[in-house]
Amino acid sequence: LALKQPRALCDPHPPRYLLDQLHTAAELTLVRLSPERRRAIWVEPKWIGCAPEKISPQVRERLEVYRAIALRDAALMHSLAAGILDKQKVEGYAWARFLLMTAMLGAHASGQGAEARRLWKSHGTALYPDGLIPPEVVYVASWKG
């Protein structure tokens, strides 16, 4: 409901709860929707209600990652997500963990298994300090592709 407010994501400093809602919406829809619906929501997101240059860099960055996933563009998924992880401190475990999985999946799917393993070695321990790693993350991190 928060995202249904007109221009909710157009604020130059969006509140944390909106970023969390955006991420939840992405997680729920990117794997379940048809290509046409993914295109309407994540590739050509007219629902946002403002021009890309009016969107905060933080939201724009997320939308670019979600767009790459919606397009199933493995190389772009890897480059965007790995670039964010490698170049800046990522705020919030949920977003950082999502980026790590996106980067590793993109690397594997584009034939860069060694790069996926590098990403895990560089970021995995820091993002899972308690050692409680979900099975799907273990699978992707251990993939010998």
pLDDT tens digits for 38-67? 999 999 988 888 888 888 888 999 999 999
Rounded to whole angstroms, the Cα distance separating 36 from 55 reads: 24
pLDDT band at 2 (very low <50, low <70, confident <90, very high): low
- Cβ atoms of 55 and 10 within 8 Å: the answer is yes
pLDDT tens digits for 97-107? 999 999 999 99
Q: What is the largest CA-CA distance in the chain?
A: 45
Average pLDDT of the chain to the nearest whole number = 91
Top-confidence residue, 110 or 8: 110
Q: Which residues contact 66 (CB under 8 A, 6 or more apart)?
A: 26, 30, 42
